[in-house]
Amino acid sequence: MSTSVGPTPRTLRGHDTPERQGPRGRFSAYLALTKPRVIELLLITTAPVMFLAAEGVPNLWLVLFTLVGGALSAGSANAFNSYIDRDIDKDMSRTSSRPLVTGEISERQALVFAWTLGVGSVVLLWVTTHWLAALLSLAAILFYVFVYTLWLKRRSEQNIIWGGIAGCFPVLIGWAAVTGELSWEAWILFLVVFLWTPAHYWPLSMRYQDDYRGVGVPMLGVVRSAPEVGVQVILYAWATVVMSLILIPVGQMGPLYIAAAVGTGAWFIVESHRLFHRAVAGEADLRPMRVFHASISYLSLLFVSVGADPLVALIPGLPGY
């Protein structure tokens, strides 16, 4: 971790310098520090699980507080990550515009912000949902910061496999908030996200392998050949889909979920195989982002069906329910 004072604020192309930005610019900078697009994906796995846990419509206030608490938790972890990785973010094209790199937010401000979000998440979930959900939120933050960011990210090609566990916690948090316990269904969905994460992220590491290589981060797309990465993506995609199908008998899922799991899962697998075949053929343009975007759509649609299936089951007379 860098011990430098930090980058000197620079003029942003097409924008005022950081010192001249108003409240709206400052808000946008803090929001960017939380990586909101990552938070969106995490929340997509939280809300549907709560509907499945409730076998219908849970208390909507409970859903709201859980989502807000989960967003604060993820935002805290991402802010800590941005602070720790500020030394390499400035050298990567994908991250060079982050607030700590541009100087829009100081290192001290980022740390205070990260701590505030983290404490706020745990307190909010403890008071409004269940103590287990609050402890899981704390565990997610600590795991992402210490296990992934500080330990694995710059040391092991396995970083995203085990570090990705932090992104699985929202499933458990949502389930615990409703039931106060962790059932088999919650653990199965936890493993779905766990297995999905490498297949989702490794194509991104292929796309930005020069960035990662330049800063010495051993992502699989950097340390292994394209065909080797393609094989790993295929294996994890298949494992993800198989795990999603295990939920059918365990959670007594209906036709809606079955159709989504099979249909979107087949699409995810096909895109993974296409990436491998392009790599084996030695094509210059592997188009790894096709798998990356397909994986996001897959997970989103799968979890929407997780939440919708118990609602459809409440409609009397539907076949298969």
> Is residue 212 within 8 Å of residue 157, measured between CB atoms?
no
For residues 298 and 280, what is the distance between their CA atoms, to the nearest angstrom?
Answer: 25
For residues 5 and 208, what is the distance between their CA atoms, to the nearest angstrom?
Answer: 27
CATH class of the 30-181 domain in this structure? mainly alpha
DSSP letter for 57, please: -
Instruction: State the pLDDT at residue 26.
Output: 86
- Residue 104 banded pLDDT, cuts 50, 70, 90: very high
Q: Tell me the fold of 183-321.
A: Four Helix Bundle (Hemerythrin (Met), subunit A) (1.20.120)
Q: What is the pLDDT of residues 225-264, one digit of tens each?
A: 999 999 999 999 999 999 999 999 999 999 999 999 999 9
Average pLDDT over the chain, rounded to whole?
Answer: 91
Question: What's the pTM value of the predicted model, to 2 decimals?
Answer: 0.90
What is the number of helices (H) and of strands (E) in the chain? 16, 0
Q: What is the pLDDT of residues 256-305, one digit of tens each?
A: 999 999 999 999 999 999 999 999 999 888 999 999 999 999 999 999 99
> Is residue 296 within 8 Å of residue 40, measured between CB atoms?
no
Q: What residue type is 312 in one-letter code?
A: V
Helix 107-128 vs helix 23-33: crossing angle, to nearest 10: 70
- Residue 15 banded pLDDT, cuts 50, 70, 90: very low
For residues 285 and 308, what is the distance between their CA atoms, to the nearest angstrom?
Answer: 38
Backbone angles phi, psi at 47, to 5 degrees: -60, -50
> Is residue 43 within 8 Å of residue 307, measured between CB atoms?
no
- The CATH 1.10.357.140 domain(s) of the chain lie at 30-181
Q: What is the pLDDT of residues 143-192, one digit of tens each?
A: 999 999 999 999 999 999 998 899 999 999 999 999 999 999 999 999 99
Q: For a pLDDT cut of 90, what percent of the chain falls above it?
A: 82
Q: What is the pLDDT of residues 185-196, one digit of tens each?
A: 999 999 999 999
- Residue 4 banded pLDDT, cuts 50, 70, 90: very low
Instruction: State the pLDDT at residue 16.
Output: 42
Instruction: State the pLDDT at residue 41.
Output: 85
Would you tell me how many other CB atoms lie within 10 Å of the CB of residue 258? 17
Using alpha carbons, list the distances in angstroms from residue 38 to 32, 42, 89, 122.
11, 6, 17, 19
Instruction: State the pLDDT at residue 21.
Output: 62
- The CATH 1.20.120 domain(s) of the chain lie at 183-321
Q: What is the pLDDT of residues 45-90, one digit of tens each?
A: 999 999 999 999 999 999 999 999 999 999 999 999 999 999 999 9
